[in-house]
Amino acid sequence: MTEDQIRKILEDYKNGALSPDDALNRLRALPFEDLGFANVDHHRVIRQGFPEVIFGLGKTVDQVSRIVESMYKNNHNILVTRTTPAHFERLKQIAPEAKFYENARAIVIQKTAEILGKGAVMVVSAGTSDMPIAEEAVATLKVMGNEVDSLYDVGVAGLHRLLDRRERLAKARVLIVVAGMEGALPSVVGGLVSVPVIAVPTSVGYGASFNGVAALLGMLNSCASNVVVVNIDNGYGAAVVASLINRL
């Protein structure tokens, strides 16, 4: 709650427009809706121009559909991440325009396609198997109003594939680099550009990759100083931060 809002409530109260109880209530009022199992936070959307986002993992079809219903009356884009075909079957009934990006495990209900970012975000991924996470990032970036370019299967053991696309890399305002195994790609990309690089380790690999730990550690220890990191397989989170940067 901002200072102006407090001042306004104080004034309304002084000139009698608000009773003491009303003033007190206002000072406590919060723009979220309590569904019992979830507090839907409309406030965040209003404040930030975000789509409304539901983390689908571990939620029942009922829970997801009730949250979407609560959101659907507003005029914002809706994004469901880590979702399932079962979720989609139900949501189609609430929102016929819903689209299911199966690789990305994402459902998008797009009500506005307004571009909010000032430039392009580039999504780069190391191997074919990293693509689902890269595509989660792409879907999120689009629903949040960004121009997106993408470049897949450009792992560091075949540098020419990457060096050849250097100009495209140079055009991005911020980059998301997705890699499993040794997670070296963000360091190499970071050395080729002068803008922030958001590294996303993936759980791709086997043996001593430990489901993404090797890639995560590689990225945290990057010798390129323009690299920051998000959680393993968190394409969504990388896209949110890239969007925020791209709107600055």
Position 183 contacts its own copies (CB under 8 A): yes
Applying CB under 8 A, which of residues 5, 17, 24, 62 lies at the interface with its own copies?
24
Q: Which residues contact 210 (CB under 8 A, 6 or more apart)?
A: none
Residue 10's Cα: distance from chain center in Å?
Answer: 38
Position 209 contacts its own copies (CB under 8 A): yes
Q: Which is closer to its own copies, CB of 112 or CB of 128?
A: 128
Position 63 contacts its own copies (CB under 8 A): yes
Binding part of the chain for its own copies, among 70-78, 94-102, 104-112, 158-166 by CB under 8 A, reads: 158-166
DSSP assigned state of 76: S
H-type helices in the chain, by residue range? 3-14, 20-28, 42-48, 61-72, 85-94, 131-143, 159-163, 166-170, 185-192, 213-220, 235-247
Binding part of the chain for its own copies, among 69-77, 83-91, 106-114, 217-225 by CB under 8 A, reads: 217-225
Bridge-based pairing of strands 106-109 and 147-151 is unpaired
Q: Which is closer to its own copies, CB of 97 or CB of 208?
A: 208
Q: Alpha-carbon distance 185 to 179, whole Å?
A: 7
**Residue 102 CB coordination number (10 Å):** 13
CB of 96 to its own copies, least distance (A): 26
Applying CB under 8 A, which of residues 51, 52, 53, 169 lies at the interface with its own copies?
53
Map residues 79-108 to x or -, x wherever contact with its own copies holds by CB under 8 A: ---x--------------------------
Position 171 contacts its own copies (CB under 8 A): no
Restricted to residues 27-46, the positions that interact with its own copies (CB under 8 A) are 27-28, 30, 32, 36-39, 41, 43-44
**Residue 136 CB coordination number (10 Å):** 28
Instruction: Quote the crossing angle between the two packed helices 61-72 and 85-94, to the nearest 10°.
Output: 30
Position 114 contacts its own copies (CB under 8 A): no
Count of residues near its own copies by CB under 8 A: 108
